[in-house]
Chain A
Amino acid sequence: MKEFGYTIIKQRTIDYDQFNGRLLNEILLMEPSFKVCLSCGGCTATCSAGDLVNFNIRRMNLLLRRGETAELESEIQKCMLCGKCMLVCPRGINLRNVIMLIKKNISRNKTTKY
């Protein structure tokens, strides 16, 4: 039988019904400024870590918002907490605190999905 390769495509639909928002909600409670991110990418463009390795801080925010905690946990370690991203953020988000909160709370709140 012809191999169409369907099986190697992992499931990429965001299944929002499976989304466990606990970590996100905790973080929004402690750092409400994070609510207003408009995904402009200014932070990623200037990020010191992103200059050296493959790291996209804006995307971390999105992973958090979609409950994709497994990838988030390993990626977030790349941040050097320099705070440069906060200098350009047009929405004045305290990103460093968001990152700290992710690091602190992620292991407790891991979801099994993804």
Chain B
Amino acid sequence: MKHIVIIGGGIAGIETASALTDAGHWVTVIEKDTRVGGKLNNWSYLFPDFTPAEKIAESLLEKCREKDFSILPDTEVKAIIRNQDKFNIHTSGNQNLEADAIVLATGYELFDARRKEEYGYKIYDQVVTSADLEQLLRPGESLTVAAGKNPKRIAFVHCVGSRDEKTGNHYCSKVCCITGVKQAIELKKRLPEAEIFCFYMDLRMYGKHFEELYREAQEKYDIQFIRGRLSEASEKIDKSLLIKAEDTLSGRPLKMNVDLLVLLVGMEAGKGTASAAFSCGVNCEESGFLKSMDSLLRSNISQQEGIFLAGSCTAPMSLNDTLLHARSAAIEVNNYLKKSIK
């Protein structure tokens, strides 16, 4: 029996593990966190259809229970040594694993919004990130601003830490546009009185049902979209925020007072991905995400033989795309192992 070690137990890692177990292999998942599930554990309702994140997380756990693969929680990789066509993996838990193939599924990290100082995250009380908002949108949480009042006017800022030379992230994080639409709708459902604005540079509704959701946001929830990038936010005495942008479609500078500012933070490859890649000699792109052999036919195959890539450690992607990428990684691993039997 062939042994495959998967590093990272998010959606990508678990889906790959599950598919490879089905294919008759022995699989071990190394997860640095206590729980598997990755970022999904922090989200409330998921685009494009508002499925509760808990439901998806639960079905993931179900897979872990019913299939016979092992999970090593609270564990990181210390060193990986190639030994002919096998790998010796030394973990932080002082275990030594021998693997025939490795899959990196280390995911992404959120952009640290404090780096865009002009938006005032962690300086002004009423500035939150989209990740913070996911927590606030969970059942049982309440959304109030200073003096316990409901926010009357809320603005979303697109492309925070993405498409921005100043932060060194040139790429588009792909899911934050639709995340903004999703969250704006969620907020409007809870706060029907509130006015909600999205400040965007381009709206990227690339996926199935995304454009429809955008339309629904306009039609049913009166969300307003303004094309212009925020230059700055400043706090007033009553803790509300004054934001500045250009309304580029009317060609005039715009000022607005809001009670809550939501920063749609982008994705970065992050330390977890960098350290795993470093330990096995896998290359990163300029963006920090992992480099595959090519981006069309071999997006799951790293430049190191026997090491494969799955999910958002290769590029920003939605859950849907992550699942597909994970399954195709499993096919590639399977093909590789079959070849090496001969």
| A residues in contact (CB < 8 Å) with B | 38-47, 50-51, 56, 58-59, 88-92
Q: Collect the chain B residues with CB atoms within 8 Å of residue A47's CB.
A: 253
Can you list 16 A-B contacts with CB-CB less than 8 angstroms, sorted by A residue number? A38-B201, A40-B228, A40-B246, A41-B227, A41-B245, A41-B246, A42-B230, A42-B245, A43-B246, A44-B246, A45-B232, A45-B244, A88-B118, A88-B231, A89-B165, A92-B166
With A56-B252, A90-B229: A42-B246 Cβ-Cβ less than 8 Å: yes
Instruction: Answer whether residue B251 sits at the interface, using C-beta atoms and an 8 A cutoff.
Output: yes
Asked if residues A45 and B246 are in contact (CB atoms below 8 Å), the reply is yes
Asked if residues A42 and B165 are in contact (CB atoms below 8 Å), the reply is no
Give Cα distance in the complex from A59 to B228, angstroms.
13
Asked if residues A92 and B165 are in contact (CB atoms below 8 Å), the reply is yes
| B residues in contact (CB < 8 Å) with A | 118, 159, 163-166, 201-202, 227-232, 244-248, 251-254
Asked if residues B201 and A46 are in contact (CB atoms below 8 Å), the reply is no
Q: Identify which of B202, B227, B245 gathers the most chain A CB atoms within 10 Å of its CB.
A: B245
The contact of B231 among A42, A59, A91, A92, by CB within 8 Å, is: A42
Asked if residues A40 and B165 are in contact (CB atoms below 8 Å), the reply is no
Q: Collect the chain B residues with CB atoms within 8 Å of residue A41's CB.
A: 227-229, 245-248
Give Cα distance in the complex from A7 to B29, angstroms.
75
Q: Collect the chain B residues with CB atoms within 8 Å of residue A91's CB.
A: 165
What is the CB-to-nearest-CB distance from A113 to chain B, in angstroms, rounded to a whole number?
A: 21
Number of A-B contacts (CB under 8 A): 67
- Minimum CB distance partner of B232 in chain A: A46
With A38-B201, A59-B251, A90-B159: A45-B118 Cβ-Cβ less than 8 Å: no
Give Cα distance in the complex from A43 to B246, angstroms.
8
Beyond A42-B245, A45-B246, A90-B166, 11 extra complex contacts between A and B, CB < 8 Å = A41-B227, A41-B248, A42-B228, A44-B253, A45-B244, A46-B232, A51-B253, A59-B251, A88-B118, A90-B164, A90-B201
Asked if residues A45 and B251 are in contact (CB atoms below 8 Å), the reply is no
Give Cα distance in the complex from A63 to B232, angstroms.
26
Asked if residues A39 and B248 are in contact (CB atoms below 8 Å), the reply is yes
Give Cα distance in the complex from A32 to B130, angstroms.
35
Q: Identify which of A41, A58, A59 gathers the most chain B CB atoms within 10 Å of its CB.
A: A41
Give Cα distance in the complex from A93 to B201, angstroms.
16
Q: Collect the chain A residues with CB atoms within 8 Å of residue B246's CB.
A: 40-45, 56, 58
What is the CB-to-nearest-CB distance from B266 to chain A, in angstroms, rounded to a whole number?
A: 12
- Minimum CB distance partner of A38 in chain B: B201
With A41-B245, A41-B246, A44-B246: A56-B251 Cβ-Cβ less than 8 Å: yes
Asked if residues A58 and B165 are in contact (CB atoms below 8 Å), the reply is no
- Minimum CB distance partner of B244 in chain A: A45
Q: Collect the chain A residues with CB atoms within 8 Å of residue B202's CB.
A: 38
